[in-house]
Chains A and B, each alone.
Chain A
Amino acid sequence: MPPAAKLPAASPVEVTVDFDSSIQSLSALDAAAYRLIGTATCQVDRAGDRYVCRLVSSTNPQKGAVLSSNELKERFLNLVADENLRARVAEKTEGVRNVILALAFGALAANQNDAG
């Protein structure tokens, strides 16, 4: 889902991105922020019906060069998009994942004579 990007911050290594909290999950933002550790910090605040994410590039990034504000915003939006997709995959596959794990290690492991 395309988030509503807002106002780059004054500094070239700071940028703020916000999202409609009725369509964007906080957990995906958290996961995206986690993957950004070492590249930038991300502070998530709630402002009315928006999640406001304030990104600040690390001055000494663990991975690669210091990003420009546009690059940082793009990186974060990509991470959020990927996390949203991961959440959809997880939701759609949770049941079958549990079945496979049960077949491999759990209660169903000893009873597999009903091959389909």
Chain B
Amino acid sequence: MARFLRPESFSAATEDLSLLPFNFERAGANQYLVANMVGDFVRLSEEELNRLVDLQVRPGDGLYEKAYAAHLITGTNQKAQRQLLAARLRSRMSFLQQTTPLHIFVVTLRCEHSCPYCQVSRQSTDRSRFDMSEQTAMRALDIAFASPTARIKIEFQGGEPLLNFPLIRKIVAAAKQRSGKKLDFVIASNLALLDDAVLDFCKENNVLLSTSLDGPADLHNKNRPRPGANSHELAIAGIRRAREILGPDKVGALMTTTEASLDRVDEIIDEYLEMGLDGIFLRPLSPFGFAIKTKQFAKYDAQKWLAFYERGLRRVLEINRQGTPFREFYAALLLTRMLSDRPIGYVDLRSPAGAGLGALVYNYDGSIFASDEGRMLAETGDDAFRLGHVEHDSYNSLILSDKLIGAISSSLTQCAPECSTCVYESHCGADPVYHYATQGDALGIKPLSAFCARQKGIMGLLLDILENSPEDAAIMRRWAAA
């Protein structure tokens, strides 16, 4: 009588299996977090991990299925998994095809605020020599339009850019006259000087507004002093007016965490909710400009900030569970990377770094920097990330400069100590300017890096919620899919 062979007869022999590349990290007693080449996570026991590396797995033993599904093993002669991983990797990195999509114009360094955490080292309003000239602006536009990407975003910064609003008008008009690229415009303003003329201009030219809102009035005004002590009042009025005239999706707000913010994350989030904003970006202080001079940056460490962040994220999730859609934007960014293969070119979360390749910054005096933080360093006397000047440089000479290539190539996470074997590498980024500012080296020693500690802390938190809190995980999966 004909009989089927035993199940083992149909399975691949162990010698027909190959290991695929992966990273891992010890994640507690007898547990490892493992990530495949595109950052899909799986948890294995120590015994499972050792069996996997020795390829002591058989169909039906559970580990074989787990490892196959997680792209940790493949059939030696099977091409499909290799091609799938390659296609996913190519998709994840395809932000590199859009070279320098962001161009930041510092139209003035003047500002009527005097924030102690300011990263820019602003100048007082009466010094018009800190305004960008029209000639400088037009040369900067030449360079921006020479970048190969089909769509560019022009962001106006300061100081307070509305103090040089006439130049913004000229730049927008000149950019729109040039053909060949799709254009987006953003004004990063404290909104204290917002008036109907600015709003009409923004409406007419589809210009977005990005502002600062640090929380309730007392906290915001403490963080952001100005004559009259009414920064919060003006920001709130500006956001309301801009939402009314331009539409709710045309104005966004960012917060910066100071020491005074650490115990008040619920109030800060509630302030954003009351304004009808659709989310919040919980941001730590950056180690630049006045934040260093006034010692604001040194007032809390990564662990304190992570505790603040976790409280905030859990509060945001609670708001969602109660029926109000509201996102924490940094978590949404990371989740998009962790749960999809969409190319995320966010300048601080990519390797190769976003300096120059993601953004160029044209300072008021014509100097060009690889990032906004690079020009902040220069304001305190360090030209490490100054790439050139609008008068005598072209797009190509800037992008191919030894300084930029050096900073990017020396900071690649794909081959950096610890980073290259880090389980979170697929979702993290090189931040050469941060590490240069804090450690004097573009690569940095990652075990001493607060950037590294924050990244690992947040991604660990997100994984914990995804694995252990089904209702919150469903909310976060929606953020990643948005």
Contacts and interface: CB of A to CB of B under 8 A. Distances in A.
Nearest to A98: B21
Given A99-B82, A103-B82, A93 B20 contact: yes
A82 B87 contact: no
A115 interface: yes
Interface string A20-45: 00000000000100111111000000
B148 interface: no
The size bracket of the interface on B is 20 to 34
A9 to B, nearest CB: 22
A88 B37 CA distance: 16
A86 B421 contact: yes
Contacts of A105: 89-90, 93
Interface string A74-115: 000010001001101110110011011101110001001011
B53 A89 contact: yes
Given A31-B417, A62-B447, A85-B49, A100 B21 contact: yes
A94 B380 CA distance: 45
Contacts of B89: 100-101, 104-105
B229 to A, nearest CB: 38
Contacts of B194: none
Interface stretch (B73-81, B183-191, B207-215, B281-289): B73-81
Contact of A104 (B49, B50, B86): B86
Contacts of B53: 85, 88-89, 92
A115 B418 CA distance: 35
A37 B21 contact: no
B37 A112 contact: no
Contacts of A86: 23-24, 421
Contacts of A93: 19-22
Nearest to A82: B26
Given A92-B19, A97-B21, A114 B418 contact: no
B286 to A, nearest CB: 19
A116 interface: yes
Contacts of A112: 83, 86
Contact of B22 (A35, A39, A89, A109): A89
Interface of A: 31, 34-39, 62-63, 78, 82, 85-86, 88-90, 92-93, 96-97, 99-101, 103-105, 109, 112, 114-116
